[in-house]
């Protein structure tokens, strides 16, 4: 179980396989956060925005539960509802590494990733529109569509949020000046980046981190 603590930190419960852990960071700050919880048989970790926040050692396997998987509710103890916004929920049968978490935390998945069990991106509805014909939550993996319970779908109180406009594709162009003569170091290159979301970062093979380099 991943849940909010009363003070706005996050809790990952291990059901005796590992001790419950809570983050040191309060995520109730009116901005979106990426949260991941992993257990690999020896260590449980909570990541916030791609960085490890808290961990604890454990042993053994987590038992399968007789209760249904729920998002925003607790089927074992109903009424412990989540109050907030959720998007892009992913369930895996592998413990994702920090590199894997960071490589996809800001991207949509294809649905065929190794170890992906279920993928709910909450994209089938639109905020401020009539969504009453929607009765299920689409699984991008194609296996386990969810049932929407207590989910408002009419125009005025729809629980689906308005979708953000997609970012334009990231692109770039290069401008280069060759060295004027063999053996001279007066060449240069500059890259102009567009699309995506600024600010941009640059890393060249010589270690430079500016958008242009000289003395080549």
Note the pLDDT tens digit of each residue in 83-122.
889 999 999 999 999 999 999 998 889 999 999 999 999 9
pTM to 2 decimal places: 0.75
CA gap 162, 68 in Å, rounded: 29
131 alpha-carbon distance from chain centroid: 25
Per-residue confidence band for 41, with pLDDT thresholds at 50, 70 and 90:
very high
Beta partners for residue 43, in sequence order = 57
Handedness of CA 100, 102, 105, 107 (dihedral sign): negative
CA dihedral 145, 8, 62, 144 (to 10 degrees): 0
- The CB density around residue 164, as the number of other CB atoms within 10 Å, is 6
CA nearest neighbour of 105 among 53, 10, 170, 33: 33
Paired tokens of 98? 């920090």
Per-residue pLDDT reduced to its tens digit, 151-160: 899 988 899 9
């Amino acid at each position: 179980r991943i849940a909010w603590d009363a003070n706005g930190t996050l809790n990952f419960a291990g059901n005796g396989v590992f001790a419950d852990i809570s983050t040191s960071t309060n995520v109730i700050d009116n901005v979106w956060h990426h949260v991941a919880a992993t257990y690999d048989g020896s260590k449980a970790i909570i990541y916030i925005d791609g960085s490890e926040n808290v961990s604890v050692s454990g042993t053994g396997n987590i038992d399968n539960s007789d209760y249904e998987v729920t998002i925003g509710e607790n089927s074992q103890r109903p009424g412990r509802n989540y109050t907030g916004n959720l998007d892009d929920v992913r369930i895996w049968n592998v413990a994702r590494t920090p590199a894997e978490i960071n490589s996809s935390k800001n991207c949509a998945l294809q649905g065929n990733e190794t170890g992906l069990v279920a993928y709910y991106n909450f994209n089938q509805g639109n905020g401020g529109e009539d969504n009453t014909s929607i009765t299920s939550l689409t699984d991008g993996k194609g296996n386990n569509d969810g049932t929407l319970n207590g989910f408002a779908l009419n125009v005025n109180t729809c629980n689906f949020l308005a979708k953000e406009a997609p970012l334009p594709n990231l692109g770039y162009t290069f401008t280069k000046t060759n060295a004027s003569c063999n053996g001279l170091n007066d060449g240069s290159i500059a890259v102009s980046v567009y699309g995506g979301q600024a600010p941009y970062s640059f890393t060249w093979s010589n270690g430079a981190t500016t958008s242009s380099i000289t003395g080549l």
